[in-house]
């Protein structure tokens, strides 16, 4: 697609991969909205990059509907969802807290589904659209302490395949990007530590991948794109 014609909503757009993706797409000519739960963080990010801030929680059905409606109303159209909102909680299975498990699935799976559903209703009616699910290399292989996060990304990968099978007939491209470790606030938010060396991926690499996926002519699409650091 021509990014000058893109009307984009990036969930989890206030920081990290979401913010950098919004920045890159805005610079390429797209009209971009970013969503998130933290009003102050979101509005500051929107001012920084020239985006529309839409405060809301992707796991709340009414919020998902309202955020999509706000983008359509403000931009006059809507044709790209970047389903980026997500976080992790990590612990051994025998110690895993159910509240943490449910919270991860509420955002990473339920939230992705609610945003995709509200978006797909508009896309199908328009007979065009794009959904980019930001999954992870954790969607392909389990690891210790990953009961919630890895399982949520496996689930997102399954949803990507289902939506792709359903929506292709409506000219809606459903794509998935799988970052390996990226230097963001993800680990700090999850209660862990990250060795942020210069060799590791930054959000810019993932934003570049998403831009490239979207810019392919609409007659084709990249189903899945995995991004690794060259020598971490």
Q: Report the catalytic residues.
A: 149
Phi, psi of 11 (to 5 degrees): -80, 155
CA distance 94 to 153: 21
Q: Is 80 exposed, middle or buried (0-12, 13-18, 19+ CB in 10 A)?
A: buried
Residue with tokens 């405060």: 55
DSSP bridge partners of 36 = 55
Q: What is the dihedral of CA 56, 32, 48, 34, to 10 degrees?
A: 20
DSSP 184: S
Phi, psi of 19 (to 5 degrees): -65, -45
């Amino acid at each position: 697609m021509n990014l000058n014609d893109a009307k984009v909503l990036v969930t989890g757009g206030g920081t990290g991969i979401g913010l950098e993706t919004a920045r890159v797409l805005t610079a390429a000519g797209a009209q971009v909205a970013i969503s998130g739960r933290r009003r102050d963080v979101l509005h500051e990010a929107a001012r920084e990059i020239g985006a529309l801030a839409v405060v809301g929680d992707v796991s709340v059905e009414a919020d998902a509907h309202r955020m999509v409606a706000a983008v359509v109303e403000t931009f006059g159209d809507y044709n790209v969802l970047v389903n980026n909102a997500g976080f992790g909680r990590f612990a051994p299975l025998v110690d895993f807290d159910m509240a943490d498990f449910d919270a991860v699935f509420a955002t990473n799976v339920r939230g992705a589904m609610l945003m995709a559903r509200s978006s797909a209703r508009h896309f199908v009616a328009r007979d065009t659209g794009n959904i980019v699910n930001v999954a992870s290399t954790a969607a392909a292989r389990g690891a210790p302490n990953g009961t919630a996060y890895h399982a949520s990304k496996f689930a997102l990968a399954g949803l990507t395949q289902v939506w792709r099978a359903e929506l292709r007939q409506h000219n809606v491209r459903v794509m998935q990007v799988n970052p390996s470790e990226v230097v963001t606030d993800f680990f700090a938010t999850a209660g862990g530590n990250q060795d942020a060396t210069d060799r590791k991926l930054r959000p810019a690499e993932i934003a570049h991948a998403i831009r490239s996926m979207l810019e392919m002519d609409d007659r084709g699409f990249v189903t899945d794109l995995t991004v690794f650091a060259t020598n971490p």
